Structure 1
Amino acid sequence: MTTTSQATTTFEKLFWNWKDYKIQYTVMGTGQPLVLIHGFGASIGHWKKNIPVLADAGYQVFAIDLLGFGGSDKAPIEYSVDLWVELLKDFWQEHIKHKAVFIGNSVGALISLTIAVEHPEITSGAVLINAAGGLSHRPNELNPPLRFVMGSFNKLVSHPITGKFVFNNIRRKSQIKRTLYQVYRDRNAVTDELVDMLYEPSCDEGAQKVFASILTAPPGDSPEELLPKVERPLLVIWGADDPWTPITGAKVYEQARENGKDIKIVPIPGAGHCPHDEVPDLVNPEIIDWVMGNW
């Protein structure tokens, strides 16, 4: 059953029941379907500069709050990339039913790549924006001192007492703004609206347990494992000044392209981890031109 909540200035928010959990999504426009998948801690609102533009270009644009984020339920379960892939596959089967381009940022990009590999029957291609290498860090990706620090931090996050203290400190608006200043090259793009978009869902009941579950979740398949199996075209967009997922991460996509995969790589100079929000006037045309050129 689908119900409608109060419309925002740019798009209305809808709700869908998945396995007895409330999932928030939006849809705008008509035409070939595009599915937008946010990154860790974000939500539909992170695509507000993209949804209307892509819809006006002649596409039916879906954006979804993954279970655990945004306006979707904060379920007390174990989270994983596989869980969200299943969610999106079921969403496609109920609401879309035509091959879609999956577009993701950060962890959302890893999910989009995983869908393209595991469910090519629902995917015509994928756009990966500053793609994460995993849902969490693999031990071999960290040097020994940092491996110890992260292991200790994850124990604090998971503990029923210290976990709440750590989470409440991380989700303070001032801390959110400091974190955004690290990953956005243009500080003017870090607005109060953006901070509120990240802060408000953290106040929902169960948000702290979701945070702990995701930080201690398995990383999922890496791009190195997935790319040899992908048979759909990919557009890889990368903010060149991203300190979280540096542009050196694009090398694995370059290697896959050299091995015959259909991959276009577009670096975005002067942008950080979320170029779709920071410099949408550069990112939106790249997506539109690539989709138009392929289908």
Structure 2
Amino acid sequence: MARNSDSSKFVNATRARKRVEADTTTTTSSTTKNGSAFTQCYACNKDVVVALISMRDCGFEAKIKMNLGNRCGLTRRDLATKGIVAAGASVLPSSLVSPPAQGLERLPFKSEGYKFWTWRGHKIHYVEEGEGFPIVLIHGFGASAFHWRYNIPELAKKYKVYAVDLLGFGWSEKALVDYDALVWRDQVADFLKEIVKEPTILVGNSLGGFTALVAAEAMPEQVVGIALLNSAGQFGSPEDDARTEIEESPLQKFLIKPLKEVFQRVVLGFLFWQAKQPARVESVLKSVYKNTSNVDDYLIESITKPADDPNAGEVYYRLMTRFMSNQRKYTLDSVLSKLSCPLLLVWGDLDPWVGPAKAIRIKEFYPNTSIVNLQAGHCPHDEVPELVNKALVDWLATLPSTAPQTV
């Protein structure tokens, strides 16, 4: 199916709705620091907590401060370090530039999904294509297996490709559980054991990248390599190490905490409604795709449709509160220090949320790393899929256990 194929069947993502939804937008105060976007006020809702596609301000590099009252601050830890250069890094073809790809085969969109697997009583959606050495693709925050639409068909020509929807996202069940990195770690680990059943490569974008790392830590005998695309995750800091839990006073426990939760629910409920509107999703995607030609109705529909699930709002609330409060427990340095497999970083250097300095820092900490720099944004696998596919195939060919067998 050609990339520019007709997408008229996506009626729910019509352009007419965008005009109406855009009218609900209010002003926000946001600034930019070291190339990273900052949002200063929760209550204002333009570009606020736009969590339907990536971890931006809420993913492993952020900290949320909920204050009792009418203001809620959201700040993002800035990992970018000025003056860092990639000297000495092990690099595959670097700084690739791509015009819009034409004629790439695309995974057909199925509103009912593809395959399903029951995990701990919950329905998990996944796509399976091709034959050969297995590769498991893991999407970012708010996305789904369909975000790998231009990668699955190409990679499946040489490999067996799986793309799984994390619990709470995509076509997987919107389970009302306490979300943290361990939930998705266990899901992916069990997926490898029960579905894949052999050594594999994990590939993850944004939140999916960090999930791939923690899953590999749990399953070192089955994960023989990891590829990260603009991955979420933060390095630990002395301030985090020095932090200790403070026992709650009765006033905090029985008055302040319940009131704070009520306030959070009201604010986050409104923000979720805003974030799932097709016009808002399109706006966010276009802010993180340097080339926006692939921000189409197909992609928007694949993000907004799961958000209509009756439990989606509660899942969003739990992700933004409980998951956020636990993020310091899992840091890149603590996970990487336990790994030994080869690592590939495919990095969109024009990402406004997770810049290339992070890739350099990962390489410095974990030398068994190759880097491919792309002139793309936060989701290079969908923005410049032909380059990402080539980078993955070239890297896989260097790993003896994954090279396609010829007869």
How would you bin the TM-score normalised by the shorter chain? 0.7 to 0.9
Q: Secondary structure at the match of 2:305?
A: helix
**Structure with more of its chain in helix, by fraction:** 1
Alignment pair present for 1:208 and 2:308: no
Alignment pair present for 1:87 and 2:187: yes
Separation (CA, whole Å) in 1 of partners of 2:219 and 2:108: 34
Task: Check conservation: 1:101, 1:125, Cα contact below 8 A.
Answer: yes
Superposed CA deviations along residues 105-156 of structure 1, whole A, max 9, x for unmatched, are 001001111222232011011000001125xxxx97xxxxxxxxxxxxxx68
Q: Which structure: larger Rg? A: 2
Which structure 1 segments of 5+ residues have no match? Answer: 1-7, 141-154
Q: How many residues align?
A: 265
**1:112 equivalent in structure 2:** 212
**2:36 equivalent in structure 1:** none
Separation (CA, whole Å) in 1 of partners of 2:273 and 2:394: 42
* % identical aligned pairs: 37
Alpha-carbon spacing, 1:193–1:10, altered in 2? closer, same or farther (3 Å): closer
Q: Secondary structure at the match of 1:120?
A: coil
Shift of 1:158: 7.2
Task: Check conservation: 1:157, 1:164, Cα contact below 8 A.
Answer: no
Separation (CA, whole Å) in 2 of partners of 1:130 and 1:294: 22
Task: Check conservation: 2:129, 2:160, Cα contact below 8 A.
Answer: yes
Q: Secondary structure at the match of 2:398?
A: helix
Task: Check conservation: 2:168, 2:175, Cα contact below 8 A.
Answer: yes
Separation (CA, whole Å) in 2 of partners of 1:120 and 1:158: 42
TM-score computed with the length of structure 1 as normaliser: 0.85
Task: Check conservation: 1:156, 1:162, Cα contact below 8 A.
Answer: no
Match of 1:9 among 76, 93, 108: 108
Separation (CA, whole Å) in 2 of partners of 1:180 and 1:67: 22
**2:146 equivalent in structure 1:** 45
Separation (CA, whole Å) in 2 of partners of 1:248 and 1:53: 29
Alignment pair present for 1:276 and 2:385: no
Superposed CA deviations along residues 141-177 of structure 1, whole A, max 9, x for unmatched, are xxxxxxxxxxxxxx68973444322210111111111
Alpha-carbon spacing, 1:207–1:158, altered in 2? closer, same or farther (3 Å): farther
Alpha-carbon spacing, 1:157–1:290, altered in 2? closer, same or farther (3 Å): farther
Match of 1:129 among 217, 229, 250: 229
**Structure 1 stretch displaced more, 120-129 or 159-168:** 159-168
Alignment pair present for 1:262 and 2:368: yes
Q: Secondary structure at the match of 2:146?
A: helix
Q: Match for 1:291: what amino acid?
A: L
1:70-85 to 2 correspondences below 5 Å: 70-85=170-185
Q: Secondary structure at the match of 1:284?
A: helix
Superposed CA deviations along residues 6-49 of structure 1, whole A, max 9, x for unmatched, are xx737870011111111011101111110000000000110010
Task: Check conservation: 1:157, 1:212, Cα contact below 8 A.
Answer: no
Which structure 2 segments of 5+ residues have no match? Answer: 1-106, 241-259, 401-407
Match of 1:26 among 94, 119, 127: 127
Q: Secondary structure at the match of 1:210?
A: helix
